[in-house]
């Protein structure tokens, strides 16, 4: 399963082909990180990506604050 924050965008023609974009970090990601986003090889966004992990923590903290 790929990262739920992963999108592919061409940035209104800035790039010839749509590229990996991280909705959590709000930016295009590096080629190597895109393999993490896509869970390619033995990579796993849930354990290997600090952006995903930080976003999950923030959401958990926000939910705790509301409860």
To the nearest 10°, report the CA torsion of 14, 25, 43, 20: -10
Question: Does 1 help bind other proteins (rule: CB under 8 A)?
Answer: no
Nearest Cα to Cα of residue 54 among 24, 27, 32? 24
Per CB under 8 A, which of residues 32..61 are in contact with other proteins?
32-36, 40-43, 47-50, 53
Minimum distance of other proteins from residue 63's CB (angstroms): 23
Question: Does 31 help bind other proteins (rule: CB under 8 A)?
Answer: yes
Sign (positive/negative) of CA torsion 15, 16, 18, 20?
A: negative
Interface residues with other proteins (CB under 8 A)? 8, 14-20, 27-36, 40-43, 47-50, 53
């Amino acid at each position: 399963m790929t990262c739920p924050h992963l999108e592919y965008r061409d940035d209104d023609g800035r790039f010839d082909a749509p590229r990996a974009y991280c909705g959590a970090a709000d930016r295009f990601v590096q080629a190597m990180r895109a393999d993490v986003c896509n869970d390619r090889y033995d990579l796993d966004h849930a354990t290997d990506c600090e952006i995903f992990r930080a976003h999950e923590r923030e959401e958990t903290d926000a939910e705790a604050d509301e409860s």
